[in-house]
Structure 1
Amino acid sequence: MNVIQTRIPEVLVFEPKVFGDDRGFFFESFNANQFDAAVGQHYDFVQDNHSRSAKNVLRGLHYQIEQAQGKLVRVTQGEVFDVAVDIRQSSPTFGQWVGELLSAENKRQMWIPPGFAHGFLVLSDHAEFLYKTTDFYAPQFECSIRWDDADIGIEWPSDAKPVLSAKDSVASSLRDARKFL
């Protein structure tokens, strides 16, 4: 497994070693020992989620203010632009973001630690998105930050108008959102 550093040290991209031939391919999508060594601590993953979205669907930027979730995300069909935003007020990278193209083709995964908001934009006709979480979904603690918040300045790789959920269309600005210490 190749570990790729991002501009925010805690957010990592994992690129598997893929073994392929004319029959197909095989790769190890998760190895707890390698993951723990890369992130510098042990996390228990307690929930796996799977979503399917159409082109230009933008989900996020989501987080749970309590029962904060770390997420290990990947795409099994299609392509997305995946984003993590540091919302830890005490962090030197507070308010900064990183984004990566994740696709069924590149098989990369991104680690979004607790304390970050997360979102993605579907670039292909459809995308299937899988992620492991370090805590259970708790809707009473769920928060959203606007995808187009000027204080964050995410450079989304599409000029198309994104398709948003009702919740995401009324999300808070970073300035007004609940944040981690």
Structure 2
Amino acid sequence: MRVTSTVIPEVLILEPKVFGDDRGFFMESFNQKAFDEIVGRHVGFLQDNHSRSRRGVLRGLHYQIQQPQGKLVRCVRGAVFDVAVDIRKSSLTFGQWVGVELSEDNHRQLWVPEGFAHGFLVLSEYAEFLYKTTDFYAPVHERCILWSDSDLAIAWPSVGIEYTLSDKDACANRLADAQLFE
């Protein structure tokens, strides 16, 4: 597995070795021992999620203020622009973001640790997105930061149509008004 650091040291791009031929391909998408070595600690995953969305759907920026979820994310069909935002007030990278294209072709995965808001934009006609989480979904603790907050200045790519958001995501708090991690 190739590991690439990002401008936020805790957020990592993981690229598994892919073995392909005229029949297709094989890759090991997750190995607990290898993953723990990569992040330098044991990370237990408790839940797997799968979403399907059409071009222009923007989901996020989501996090749970209690029962925070670390997420290992990947796109298995189509392509997305995936974003992690550091919302730990005591962090040297507070308010900074990382954006990475994840696709069925590049097989990349992104490790988004606890203490980060997460979101993605679908770039292809459709995308299927899988992610493992370190804690269970707890709707009462879910929070959302506005995807277009000018203080974050996330460079979301154009997809040729207007973005589609849920009501919750469209009305999210700006970073300055959000409940954050210390």
Fold agreement, TM-score > 0.5 = yes
Aligned-pair identity in percent equals: 66
Partner of 1:40: 40
Partner of 1:75: 75
Count of aligned pairs: 181
Shift of 1:177: 0.3
Matches within 5 A, 1:1-181: 1-158=1-158, 160-181=161-182
* Unaligned segments of structure 2, at least 5 residues: none
Deviation per CA, 1:29-73: give whole Å up to 9, x if none: 001111111111111100000000000000000000000000000
Deviation per CA, 1:145-171: give whole Å up to 9, x if none: 000000011001116421000110100
User: Following TM superposition, where does structure 1 have runs of at least 4 consecutive aligned residues deviating by more than 3 angstroms?
Assistant: none
Task: Quote the Cα distance in structure 1 between the aligned partners of 2:179 and 2:36.
Answer: 29
Task: Quote the Cα distance in structure 2 between the aligned partners of 1:148 and 1:20.
Answer: 39
Deviation per CA, 1:8-33: give whole Å up to 9, x if none: 00000100100011111000000111
Deviation per CA, 1:77-130: give whole Å up to 9, x if none: 000000000000000000000000000000000000000000000000000000
Q: Which amino acid aligns with 1:178?
A: Q
Task: Quote the Cα distance in structure 1 between the aligned partners of 2:7 and 2:157.
Answer: 18
Task: Quote the Cα distance in structure 2 between the aligned partners of 1:96 and 1:9.
Answer: 11
**Match of 1:105, SS?**
coil
* Unaligned segments of structure 1, at least 5 residues: none
- The CA RMSD over aligned residues, in Å, is 0.7
TM-score (norm 1): 0.99
Task: Quote the Cα distance in structure 2 between the aligned partners of 1:81 and 1:135.
Answer: 24
**Match of 1:175, SS?**
helix
Task: Quote the Cα distance in structure 1 between the aligned partners of 2:163 and 2:175.
Answer: 19
**Match of 2:85, SS?**
strand
Q: Which amino acid aligns with 1:14?
A: L
**Match of 2:34, SS?**
helix
Task: Quote the Cα distance in structure 1 between the aligned partners of 2:82 and 2:41.
Answer: 23
